[in-house]
A = this chain, B = another copy of it.
Amino acid sequence: MNADKIPDIIIGRLPVYLRALQRMSDSGMKTTSSQELGELVGVSAAQIRKDVSQFGEFGKQGTGYSITYLLEKLREILKVDRIWDVALVGAGDMGHALAHYQGFSNRGFKVVMVFDNDKSKIGQKVGDFTIEDTVNLVEKIKSAGIKIAMLTVPASAAQGVADKLVQAGVKAILNYAPISINVPQSVKVQYIDPSTHLQRMTYYV
C-alpha cells in the first residue's frame, strides 16, 4: 500500500484491467492471476501486480485475485462505482453515434444533455435528448452539477467550447475535435482523434 501520488501511467492502465475483468466475470470466471490477466491485456504479470498493489493487497498468495473483489476495488479507485452524468457538445455524426452508444451505462457513465450551436439542429431530437442551444451551456451544466463532457465540435470551435465547459465547472473533457486544447491544470483532457491514432501506426507499416 502506498499513499503517495500514483503515476498517471498506472491510472491509465486500470480501466483496461477493469474492462478485462468485467468480461471474465461475465463469462463466469471467479478468480484470475496476474499472469492470466496480463496475457489478456498485453502487459507483464509483474506490472499488473505492481499497479494493483499501489492501492492495497487485493490478491492471495497461491490463488490469485477474486475477480468480483478486484472489480469492486478497481471501480472504487477509479470512482466508477457510480453513474456519472455526461454532457455532449456537438450533434454531428460523431455526436449522434455517442448519444446512441450503448457502452456507457455499465461502465459508469450516462449522457444526459446534448448541445449544438446550429439553429437548425436546436430543438431536434437525438435519441432521447432534445438538442439544446450552446448559449445555455454554462448555466445548464452548472446547475445540473455535471463534471464530465464530451466534445464533438469542429476544431475551430473546440477551444471556445472548452473554455465554456471549464467555466461551467466541468473537470474532465473527452475531446473528439482534432486539436489540442488549453485548460487549467485542474481539468483533465483525453483526446480521441482517429487520424492521429492511425498516424501512430503508419510509421511501422
Contact between A204 and B97 (Cβ–Cβ < 8 Å)? no
Q: How far is the CA of A103 from the CA of B18 in the complex (A)?
A: 31
A residues contacting the other copy or chain, number (CB 8 A):
57
Given A41-B180, A109-B198: A203 in contact with B78 (beta carbons within 8 A): yes
Contact between A19 and B150 (Cβ–Cβ < 8 Å)? no
Given A77-B203, A171-B204, A204-B172: A104 in contact with B147 (beta carbons within 8 A): no
Q: How far is the CA of A80 from the CA of B203 in the complex (A)?
A: 8
| B-side contacts of A179, CB under 8 Å | 19-20, 23
Any chain B CB within 8 A of the CB of A199?
yes
Contact between B148 and A195 (Cβ–Cβ < 8 Å)? no
Given A179-B23, A180-B41, A190-B200: A195 in contact with B97 (beta carbons within 8 A): no
Contact between B195 and A103 (Cβ–Cβ < 8 Å)? yes
Contact between B42 and A180 (Cβ–Cβ < 8 Å)? yes
Stretch at the interface among A9-17, A59-67, A114-122: A9-17
| B-side contacts of A79, CB under 8 Å | 202-203, 205
Any chain B CB within 8 A of the CB of A196?
yes
Q: How far is the CA of A108 from the CA of B98 in the complex (A)?
A: 25
Given A20-B180, A23-B155, A97-B97: A108 in contact with B199 (beta carbons within 8 A): yes
A28-42 Cβ-contact flags toward B at 8 Å (1 or 0): 000000000000111
Any chain B CB within 8 A of the CB of A201?
yes
13 A–B contact pairs at CB < 8 A? A14-B199, A19-B195, A79-B203, A79-B205, A80-B199, A84-B198, A94-B97, A107-B196, A107-B198, A109-B198, A148-B201, A148-B202, A148-B205
Question: 15 additional contacts, CB 8 Å, given A94-B97, A188-B205?
Answer: A20-B179, A20-B180, A23-B155, A41-B180, A78-B202, A80-B202, A93-B97, A93-B101, A104-B195, A148-B202, A171-B205, A172-B198, A174-B197, A188-B201, A192-B194
